[in-house]
Amino acid sequence: MKPAHPKSLTLKVNPYEGKEGENLRFWVREVELAMDAALISTERLRVAFALSNLGGRAKAWAYTREVTTPGCFTTWAQLCQQLRAAFLPANYEYRQRSRFLACKQGKHDLHEYIQEMRVLAASLVGNPVPEHIKVTVFMDGLKMGPSRT
């Protein structure tokens, strides 16, 4: 009987293009999940896989860097750091935190409001908001009505 080898699973990753409004942090997580499913474990292969899932100006930026400075992306963490430096605004964390703290239910139904809060909270993974602050912001942002009483 042959020893059981883990089987890899290939997942499709939407390319990150560096466009305004694209979420780089979600793309990074999507790539990490796909690499784990495909059993991609060496740094060289992780970098190659990630580069193959770039598009548009992000792809042009990465391959220009690779052509002018071969081997500039030696690790996945280094590639992520350089992508953040190139494509996230300098005040990204501040802006996302401000959006989270100012979030209100407004005309949205409760489920839409909850989803928006989750997306904004997830964008702050580098410096997460403490749970008690999340609860306070959420409760303060609810519309007046049965859910507030």
pTM of the model: 0.69
Q: What letter represents residue 71's amino acid?
A: G
pLDDT digits (tens, 9 = 90+) for 9-30: 778 999 999 998 898 988 999 9
> Residue 68: how many CB atoms within 10 A of its CB?
8
By C-alpha distance, which of 131, 134, 30 is closest to 80? Answer: 30
Instruction: Spell out the domain ranges in the chain.
Output: 24-87, 92-148
The predicted structure's pLDDT at residue 149: 46
Q: What is the end-to-end Cα distance of the chain in Å, rounded? A: 64
Residue 97 phi/psi, 5° resolution?
Answer: -65, -40
Share in percent of the chain as helix, strand, coil (round to 5): 60, 0, 40
DSSP state letters, 54-77 = B-HHHHHHHHHHHHHSTT---SHH
**pLDDT tens across 100-132, in order?**
999 999 999 999 999 999 888 887 767 788 999
- Asked whether the predicted pLDDT for residue 82 surpasses 90, the reply is yes
